[in-house]
Amino acid sequence: MLELRDVDVFYGKAQALHGISFSVAPGDIVALIGRNGAGKSTLLRALAGAHGLTRGERRLDGDIITRLPSYLCSRRGIALVPEDRQIFSSLTAEENLRLVEVLHPAGYWTRERVYRLFPRLAERRKANGISLSGGEQQMLAIARSLLANPHYLLLDEPTEGLAPIIVDAIIAAISEINQQGTAVVLVEQNFKVPQLLANYFHLIDSGRLTWSGPPDRLDEARDLLIVGRS
């Protein structure tokens, strides 16, 4: 299990997370939903070890890993796909994948299997990162992180701004990734995609979790998000 316990995070003097407790267990797809600026990306980075905690703990399978740097968190099986995707735009899709493939031990996810997961990416394997569409870049970013064979995959707004047909491909991929044994934290601004995938939901507002619950209580959360918007 990957956990944050009672975590505060600051940017300089500005507090971005307040007393966050959050956990994701093997098998889970946990959704984190909130408006722009609510603290979603900060929470994901805190989970991935990419941002220091001012207070509280990060734990992995019971080990306290609060100060473990992000590259070691990555070796322990935590993979973050950031909002800006961070692929190498001057390299081809194939080269982007080969680069990470050599860094990680072999596991279920191989280049062949990620191409099978995203056939569109296989067709575009010779294209430079810069010429890939937003959806193709998102597929590449997810594919690349899978080659690390992570136990926990943290996805920051993976469907934001993408065409419906691409969103469907990404939804199907997340479902398969989870079925193959990787737990997922899915960050989105609304319920549309998470409600098709997640088995647990959290709402975040102004750096605080304001609601948490299972799918059958989602109506309460919808009301909260709408009230919060007005």
In sequence order, what DSSP letters do the residues of 120-146 get, joined into one string? HHHHTTTSBGGGS-HHHHHHHHHHHHH
Stretch that binds Mg ion, among 19-27, 32-40, 98-106, 176-184 (CB under 5 A): 32-40
Q: Which two tokens stand for residue 59?
A: 């734990």
Smallest separation (angstroms) from Mg ion to the CB of 37: 8
Residue 178 in the binding site for Mg ion (CB under 5 A): no
Q: Report what 42 binds from Mg ion, ligand ADP, none; CB cut-off 5-8 Å by kind.
A: ligand ADP
Smallest separation (angstroms) from ligand ADP to the CB of 16: 4
**What is the distance between the alpha carbons of residues 161 and 28, in angstroms, rounded to a whole number?**
25
Interhelix angle 134-146/164-179, rounded to 10 degrees, is 10
Q: In what order do the strands lie in the sheet with 29-33?
A: 78-81, 152-156, 183-188, 29-33, 200-205, 208-213
Stretch that binds Mg ion, among 35-43, 85-93, 163-171, 194-202 (CB under 5 A): 35-43
Contact 49, 69 (CB under 8 A): yes
Q: At 193, which amino acid appears?
A: V
Smallest separation (angstroms) from Mg ion to the CB of 122: 29
Residues that bind ligand ADP (CB under 6 A): 11, 14, 16, 34, 36-42
Stretch that binds Mg ion, among 37-45, 58-66, 138-146, 177-185 (CB under 5 A): 37-45
Residue 41 in the binding site for Mg ion (CB under 5 A): yes
Smallest separation (angstroms) from Mg ion to the CB of 6: 22
**What is the distance between the alpha carbons of residues 182 and 176, in angstroms, rounded to a whole number?**
9
Q: Report what 90 binds from Mg ion, ligand ADP, none; CB cut-off 5-8 Å by kind.
A: none
Nearer to Mg ion, 53 or 204 (CB): 204
3-state secondary structure of 39: coil
Residue 138 in the binding site for Mg ion (CB under 5 A): no
Stretch that binds Mg ion, among 40-48, 63-71, 84-92, 217-225 (CB under 5 A): 40-48
Nearer to ligand ADP, 31 or 169 (CB): 31
Residues in the interface with Mg ion (CB under 5 A) total 2
Smallest separation (angstroms) from Mg ion to the CB of 109: 25
Nearer to ligand ADP, 114 or 185 (CB): 185
**What is the distance between the alpha carbons of residues 32 and 27, in angstroms, rounded to a whole number?**
16
**What is the distance between the alpha carbons of residues 64 and 121, in angstroms, rounded to a whole number?**
38
**What is the distance between the alpha carbons of residues 224 and 230, in angstroms, rounded to a whole number?**
10
Residues binding Mg ion (CB under 5 A): 40-41
